[in-house]
Amino acid sequence: MEVEIARADGIATVTLNRPEKLNALTPEMREELARLFGLLGQERETRAIVLTGAGRGFCGSGDVTSMGCFTPETARDRLKMAHRMILAVANIEKPVIAAVRGPVAGIGWSLALACDLVVASDTAKFIQVFKNVGLAPDGGAVYFLTQILGLQQAKEIVYSARPVPAAEALSLGLATQVVPDAELETAARALARRLADSPAFSFGVTKKLFKSTAVPSLEAFLDAEAWAQEACLLTADHREGVAAFLEKRPPQFGREH
């Protein structure tokens, strides 16, 4: 299965399991993540969640092979699916830890940002890749980055599409902890254990309080994001960005394709 779940001692571990593609998210994986987090939210025995990826990378963005030929309807459906996933992770009233290594890109980074805390391997590299395929950021990336970094630093990271190594992510507050790669699972599990031993009801209430500090709400922001993404998905620049990525060449934006 491309999304796996294991439960033990009050901790659920959800694993993106498509390592040959750096766990790039397919539509089916997005739906399954939304479904699983909905179920976990109802499980009394589950008190903390670790979200991680199999292999050498957490999530190398969305599956580019499924992009490049959208209609308004398919673009809208894709965005609704992504937003269901992000909201399921962000709104669950239980602590969620992202345990990440290697590439953490595009909506994969959004997925990590939707978690409460991020434990990163020293191999982790975070990157907003959207401009490389002619898109606006999705999955709430602009929302989350601006909440954490402020407007100017968030713009720099999104506009530059540069990699942010694990040490810098820690210094910017984009990661909670950085550990040697071999210690990632142990560190994430230890943090999950401490959180699972916390009072569940008060933790859920506290998450609501944190959510109430954000203006606008994540839901309102995602409505605006859907408009921006749908507009970009239908452009020639997006088709060129996808073609260039698949052909492993620099994109040539601003031309007729």
Instruction: Quick: pLDDT tens for 118-131.
Output: 999 999 999 998 88
State which H helix or E strand residue 155 sits in.
helix 151-160
The mean pLDDT value for 104-113 works out to 96
pLDDT of residue 68: 55
Whether the link from the prior residue into 216 is cis, omega within 30° of 0, is yes
For the stretch 134-147, pLDDT in tens is 888 989 999 999 99
pLDDT of residue 257: 41
* Higher-scoring residue by pLDDT: 69, 249: 249
- CATH number assigned to the domain covering 3-181: 3.90.226.10
Annotate 203-232 with DSSP letters as a single string: HHHHHHHHHHTSSS-HHHHHHHHHHHHHHH
Confidence of residue 160 (pLDDT cuts 50, 70, 90): very high
Give the CA radius of gyration of the chain: 18
For the stretch 203-255, pLDDT in tens is 888 998 898 888 788 888 888 888 888 888 888 888 888 888 888 898 888 76
Average pLDDT, the chain: 91
| pTM for the predicted model, two decimal places | 0.86
The mean pLDDT value for 80-90 works out to 94
The mean pLDDT value for 9-32 works out to 95
User: Scanning the structure block, which residue is given the tokens 């916390």?
Assistant: 198
Closest CA to 108 of 99, 66, 38, 232: 99
Q: Is the pLDDT of residue 172 over 90?
A: yes
Confidence of residue 84 (pLDDT cuts 50, 70, 90): very high
Closest CA to 165 of 98, 96, 99, 101: 101
Instruction: State the SS3 of 160-204.
Output: HCCCEEHHHHHHHCCCCEEECHHHHHHHHHHHHHHHHCCCHHHHH
Non-local CB neighbours of 91 within 8 Å, separated by 6+ positions: 211, 218
Q: Where are the domains of the chain?
A: 3-181
For the stretch 2-17, pLDDT in tens is 999 999 999 999 999 9
Alpha-carbon distance 5 to 13, whole Å? 6
